[in-house]
Amino acid sequence: MIRPGLRHALPLLRAARYEVFPSGKVEQHVLESVPRSVQVTVTASPTRGLLPTLELTEHLRAEGYQVVPHLAARQVHDRAHLADIVARLTAAGIEDVFVPAGDADQPAGEFEGALDLLEALTELGNPFPRVGITGYPETHPKIDDDVTIQSMWDKRRHATYIVSNLCFDARVLRNWIKRIRRRRVSLPLLIGLAGPVDSTRLMRMAAKIGVTDSARFVTGHRSAVFRLSTPGGYRPERLLAGIGSVLSAADSGVTGLHIFTFNQLAETEQWRQRLLARAAE
């Protein structure tokens, strides 16, 4: 039996997209576990740079996936570097990119944040039909709440959709969606959702991405680490059921789910298929 709130999320679950880290055997795991109908987004490492992101994006695109690379602004050196990245991605058939500021402590060049890079993409003639930006339902560890809301407002002219960052509180997420809509931020919204992640595997994956990146990962995802390390503390379907009333509201503008898989792709896809099968019964 599917809870009423969860039923509203099932159409979004059918069209969910999966976020992966470009490390280890993730390409092999995508090919083994992820259907071609599922869009894959590829994050960027602040210590390894954008090259692994670009390479994995090209490989997966060649395998028939719709791929969304993260263009972390602070890892782009200058406009010539950006032009090279754009040429490489468009040659691969990429039509959708996600533009965060990135977690690097210092920018590699002229781009301090996402807005700077978004403006540069606009000057290049908007080479990608779809461009995503980040929204923060919960407090960002380094940025005040009012600043994140204002930043989203400033960036909206250069973007086509918003992806909410991790949040584990249905009430907070519901209120945030209502708040940004009151501010007349009308871009379509993808709800960021942690998949059914095992805490031991999460920590093992964090260790594999390197000491520096792991420290940033834990700092930037303290809420995730805490929830996922607590037995029975988190079930993604419970959160989806809790925001069902918002998902079904016509003015919410929620159009999809962005699932943080933490590279646990087989488990995430099995969980998604189980929920869809229950809905079909």
End-to-end alpha-carbon separation of the chain, Å?
8
Q: What is the pLDDT of residues 116-145, one digit of tens each?
A: 999 999 999 999 999 999 998 875 545 555
pTM of the predicted structure, to 2 decimals: 0.87
Q: Could you tell me the pLDDT band of residue 77, with boundaries at 50, 70 and 90?
A: very high
Specify the number of domains making up the chain: 1
Residue 214 confidence (pLDDT): 39
Output DSSP code: residue 27: H
pLDDT tens-place string over residues 179-210: 888 888 899 999 999 888 766 665 565 555 44
DSSP secondary structure string for all residues of 235-279 = -HHHHHHHTHHHHT-TTS-EEEEEEE-TT-HHHHHHHHHHHHHHH
Length of the chain: 281
Domain containing 157 — which CATH number?
3.20.20.220
Domain span at residue 270 reads 4-280
Residue 69 tokens, joined: 């690379």
